[in-house]
Amino acid sequence: QCDLTGWWENELGSKMRVDTVDSQGNFTGEYHTAVSSTQKPIEPSPLLGSQHLDEDGQCTFGFTVNWKFSDSTAVFAGQCFAGDGGEEVLQSIWLLREKVDSLPSDWKATR
């Protein structure tokens, strides 16, 4: 059974905390990134997400991070799997939207 509640860490050293997942699959938390292209100090940033409450325990989920130290927003989507040793493993993909000055610059705003 996938339980997103708690602390998670990725291979780059970024960490996220997921608070309690409610009966509808909604959750809040905080993301502590270990990587950034900004010159500003990195700060923990709030996240807001939702997961499917699948009976097989391999739920899909998604969340948005509103970066406190930049003008960008990131969205993540993924799925929880049972690893070889029975531990839960999250696989996800993300998009980062940076603020740009004008509509003609829109092409370079999403990574």
Considering only residues 3 and 92, tell me which one the structure prediction assigns the higher pLDDT. Answer: 92
* Local structure of 106: helix, strand or coil: helix
User: Domains in the chain and their CATH numbers?
Assistant: 6-99 (2.40.128.30)
Can you tell me the distance from the alpha carbon of 38 to that of 53, in angstroms, rounded to the nearest whole number? 36
**Mean pLDDT for the stretch of residues 15-28:** 95
3-class SS letters over 36-56: CCCCCCCCCEEEEEEECCCCC
- Which of residues 19 and 56 earns the better pLDDT score? 19
Nearest to 30 by CA among 9, 49, 44: 44
pLDDT tens-place string over residues 64-100:
999 998 889 999 999 998 878 878 899 999 999 999 9
Length of the chain: 111
* Percent of the chain whose pLDDT exceeds 70: 99
Q: What was the pLDDT predicted at 1?
A: 67
